[in-house]
Amino acid sequence: MPYTEYLDTYRDARRLVPHAVVKRVVGGATPVRAWREHLGLTQAVMAERLGISQSAYAQQEGRATLRKASREKVAAALGIRQDLLDI
């Protein structure tokens, strides 16, 4: 990557995934769980934001992949862009 492109990427931190999230995913967590934990949210809070039960949310969080509609809702509940779940 050219240095100028690196600088542009670094300035636009919204495009970057925090190291803590990547480390959790490498350690076996799903991207949704890694982001939730990184943001300091509980499953109960996420379930409330999504309007579902905590157990239903736990099932979603444990899946390796989510349907497009679910990904959009979960990303919105986390306050991140959905493409940041693609790690």
**CATH number, position 74:** 1.10.260.40
Q: Which domain holds residue 70?
A: 3-85
Residue 16 neighbours by CB distance under 10 Å: 12
pLDDT given at position 2: 78
- Condensed to tens digits (0 to 9), the pLDDT of residues 10-57 reads 666 667 888 999 999 999 999 999 999 999 999 999 999 999 999 999
**What six digits make up the tokens of 29?**
């967590």
Number of domains in the chain: 1
pTM value is: 0.83
d(CA 59, CA 32): 11
